[in-house]
Amino acid sequence: MIEFFYDINSPYSYLAATQVEALAKRTASPLRFRPFLLGGVFKQAGNDAPARIPNKARWMLGDLARWAAIYDVPFRFPSVFPLNSLHAQRALVALDRSVGEEAQRGLALALYRAYWVDDRDLSTREAVLEIAAARGLDVAALSSAMDAPETKDALRAATDEAVQRGAFGAPSLFVGDALFWGNDRLPLLEAHLRALGGA
């Protein structure tokens, strides 16, 4: 089982999200998308957003473009960055709890495309719900579930759990105790799964 902890505001999580389903299929591994709050992870783990370092932010622009070219996926750096992803992550958790993982994953991929391809500012509840509406989801129910204490608690709990298991950034992919951090570790994750006999 691959647990894919992600936040919509993380560009390398977007890139990984475009690849991880095919990887799971190739290795016959169950896959679970798990929304968490990257800001909370940074805070708890004592880490900082990589783009806070000017030279790293500049390098990231080129690096992200190179990965997008390798994967042949669209990518445009958003006008609004960093993104406050609290509404997005709450919507994802709420949907996961009310409808299920598949619906959550579908919304995640739609939000990723909206933010990292179509340059939509997803910092407001309305913007997130628009993307959900376009997928035919029950927006009134989703909006109300986003405010439920159970949703807020579940998002906090997923964030805490990831940090307790060793996360310090995103994406964080777990196979049991083994953590694979970053889009660039997908090949190592795949080799690990094959060594476990998953394929």
Query: Active-site residue numbers?
Result: 10
Query: What are 174's strand-pairing partners?
Result: 3, 179
Closer residue to its own copies (CB): 100 or 176: 176
DSSP state of 184: G
Closer residue to its own copies (CB): 40 or 169: 169
Footprint on this chain of its own copies (rule: CB under 8 A): 45-47, 52-56, 58-59, 62-63, 66, 70, 163, 166-169, 178-179, 181, 184-185, 188, 191-192
Q: Which residues contact 104 (CB under 8 A, 6 or more apart)?
A: 33, 35, 92, 93, 95, 96
At 76, the amino acid letter reads: R
Q: Please tell me whether residue 68 adopts helix, strand or coil conformation.
A: helix
Shortest CB 166 distance to its own copies, Å: 5
Closer residue to its own copies (CB): 154 or 188: 188
Q: Say if residue 82 is preceded by a cis peptide, omega within 30 of 0.
A: yes
**What radius of gyration, in Å, describes the C-alpha atoms of the chain?**
16
Shortest CB 65 distance to its own copies, Å: 11
Could you give phi then psi for residue 33, rounded to 5 degrees?
A: -75, 130
Closer residue to its own copies (CB): 111 or 173: 173
* Cα–Cα dist 107/64, whole Å: 22
Shortest CB 99 distance to its own copies, Å: 32
Burial of 61-82, coded b for 16+ CB within 10 Å and e otherwise, reads: eebbeebbeeeebebeebeeee
Shortest CB 114 distance to its own copies, Å: 27
